[in-house]
């Protein structure tokens, strides 16, 4: 991440707390992917978990899960309460961990905030053990921006969204590196991503070789 990108994230952290996500109509949508993430983690008891881009730690606060939490923003990390194994200020594009260190990596509402999502995905793959899984949530930028307009928030696009990450882009990033375990839109799973707010997917790191994705 460049110096200017770091500075942008710190400016946004000063101005906009992630706590606002948990309240009002925004909170209703936010809690859909919080539930999905916690349900996913219940399927991995005893797993070593890395939460990349943890922000203020509200995703797993009070859940009983204790991951290693990492974020680029010192200001947001200072707002994290107890409930994690370790807090680290670092760049998701250069994770400070050895290869094959984790069973699970969380990239929850993160990829849209970096200029090179492919680099973050490659780092997640590197630190995952063979057969380990990465859980990803990305927003539908169009609906998010419309929602901010309706709530009279400025600018319409979330201030530190730097990339548009679609389901197709995630599949391309996964090809030859991961297999897709599950994928659906939220909050209404029976509707396509174009009519929803978020896209949830779980990818499993290939143990060896390459595989064709469905």
CA distance 129 to 131: 6
Superfamily of domain 3-205: Vaccinia Virus protein VP39 (3.40.50.150)
Three-state secondary structure call for residue 109: coil
Q: Rounded distance, CA 212 to CA 170, Å?
A: 14
- Over the stretch 75-103, which tens digit does the pLDDT of each residue have? 888 888 766 678 999 999 999 999 999 99
In whole angstroms, what is the distance from residue 127 CA to residue 68 CA?
13
Q: What is the pLDDT of residues 112-171, one digit of tens each?
A: 999 999 999 999 999 999 999 999 999 998 887 777 777 777 777 777 788 999 999 999
Alpha carbons 179 and 214: distance in angstroms, whole number: 8
- Beta-ladder partners of 136: 107, 201
Looking at the DSSP bridge assignments, the partners of residue 202 are 135, 182
Reported as a single tens digit per residue, the pLDDT across 33-55 is 999 999 999 999 999 999 999 98
Q: What is the pLDDT of residues 177-187, one digit of tens each?
A: 999 999 999 99
In 3-state terms, what secondary structure has residue 205? strand
Q: For residue 186, what is the DSSP state?
A: E
User: Could you tell me the residue ranges of all domains in the chain?
Assistant: 3-205
- Contact, 17 vs 79, CB < 8 A? yes
Reply yes or no on whether the pLDDT at 8 is more than 50: yes
* Alpha carbons 98 and 92: distance in angstroms, whole number: 14
Is the predicted pLDDT of residue 212 greater than 60, yes or no?
A: no
In the predicted structure, residue 18 carries a pLDDT above the cut 90: no
Pairing of the two strands 178-186 and 198-205: antiparallel
């Amino acid at each position: 991440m460049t110096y200017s990108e770091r500075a942008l994230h710190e400016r946004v952290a000063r101005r906009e707390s992630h706590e606002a996500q948990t309240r009002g109509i925004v909170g209703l949508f936010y809690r859909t992917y919080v539930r999905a993430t916690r349900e996913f983690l219940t399927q991995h008891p005893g797993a070593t978990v890395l939460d990349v881009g943890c922000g203020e730690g509200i995703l797993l606060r009070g859940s009983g899960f204790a991951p290693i939490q990492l974020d680029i923003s010192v200001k947001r990390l200072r707002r994290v309460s107890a409930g994690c194994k370790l807090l680290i200020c670092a760049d998701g594009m250069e994770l400070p961990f050895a290869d094959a260190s984790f069973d699970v990596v969380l990239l929850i509402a993160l990829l849209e905030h970096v200029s090179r999502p492919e680099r973050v995905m490659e780092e997640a793959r590197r630190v995952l053990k063979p057969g380990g899984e990465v859980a990803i949530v990305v927003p539908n930028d169009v609906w998010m921006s419309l929602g901010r307009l309706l709530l009279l928030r400025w600018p319409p696009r979330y201030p530190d969204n730097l990339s548009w990450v679609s389901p197709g882009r995630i599949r391309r990033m996964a090809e030859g590196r991961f297999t897709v375990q599950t994928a659906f839109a939220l909050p209404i799973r029976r509707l396509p991503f174009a009519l929803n707010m978020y896209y949830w997917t779980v990818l499993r790191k290939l143990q060896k070789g390459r595989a064709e994705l469905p």
